[in-house]
Amino acid sequence: MNVLLVYPLFPKTFWSYEKILELVNRKVLLPPLGLITVAAILPQEWNFKLVDRNVRTITEAEWQWADMVILSAMIVQKDDLLSLIKEAKRRGKKVACGGPYPTSMPEEPQAAGVDYLILDEGEITLPMFVEAIAKGEPSGIFRTNEKPDVTTTPVPRFDLLEFDAYDSMSVQFSRGCPFQCEFCDIIVLYGRKPRTKSPAQLLAELDYLYSLGWRRGVFMVDDNFIGNKRNVRLLLLELKEWQKAHGYPFRFNTEASIDLAADQELMDLMVECYFDAVFLGIETPDEDSLQMTKKFQNTRSSLLDSVEAITKTGIRVMAGFIIGFDGEKKGAGDRIVRFAELTGIPTTTFAMLQALPHTALWHRLEKEGRLRSQNGNLNQTTLMNFVPTRPVEEIAREYVEAFCALYEPHAYLDRVYSYFLKLGAPRVKVEAKLPTLTDLKALAIIVWRQGIKRDTRWKFWHHLFSMIKKNPAVWEHYLIVCAHNEHFMEYRDIVRREIEGQLAAYWQEEERLKLVTPTPARELDLAS
Measured between alpha carbons, how far is 128 from 31 in angstroms, rounded to an integer? Answer: 26
For 112-178, strand residue ranges (E) read 116-118, 140-142, 168-171, 174-175
Segment 344-365 mean pLDDT:
93
Length of the chain: 528
- H/E stretch holding 207: helix 199-211
The answer to which of 47-51, 244-248, 370-374 has the lowest mean pLDDT is 370-374
The span from the CA of 234 to the CA of 226, in Å, is: 11
**Distance from C-alpha of 397 to C-alpha of 121, rounded to nearest angstrom:** 39
- Residues 412, 483: Cα–Cα separation, whole Å: 11
Q: What mean pLDDT comes out for the span 356-375?
A: 90
Report the range of poorest mean pLDDT among 86-100, 146-160, 483-497: 483-497
Average pLDDT, the chain: 93
Cβ atoms of residues 349 and 15 within 8 Å:
yes
Please state, in angstroms and rounded to a whole number, the distance separating the CA atoms of residues 226 and 528. 32
CA 150/CA 195 separation, integer angstroms: 7
CB atoms within 10 A of CB 437: 8
Nearest 5°: CA angle at 178, between 172 and 182? 110
Supply angle C-alpha 466, 276, 232, rounded to 5. Answer: 155
CB of 97 within 8 A of CB of 118? Answer: yes
Q: How confident is the model at residue 455 (pLDDT cuts 50, 70, 90)?
A: very high
Q: Are 194 and 175 in contact (CB under 8 A)?
A: yes
In whole angstroms, how large is the CA radius of gyration of the chain? Answer: 23
Segment holding 316, helix H or strand E = strand 316-323
435-to-26, 353, 359, 439 alpha-carbon distances in Å:
16, 42, 47, 6
Gap between the Cα atoms of 41 and 38, Å rounded: 5
Q: What pLDDT digit, counting tens, does each position of 395-435 carry? A: 999 999 999 999 999 999 999 999 999 999 999 988 888 88
Chain centroid to CA 463: how far?
30
Q: What is the pTM of this model?
A: 0.93
Residue 219 φ then ψ, to 5°: -100, 120
State how far the alpha carbon of 504 is from the alpha carbons of 383, 456, 512, in Å.
11, 35, 12
Give tens-digit pLDDT for 167-184: 999 999 999 999 999 999
The answer to whether residues 318 and 347 touch, using CB atoms and an 8 Å cutoff, is yes
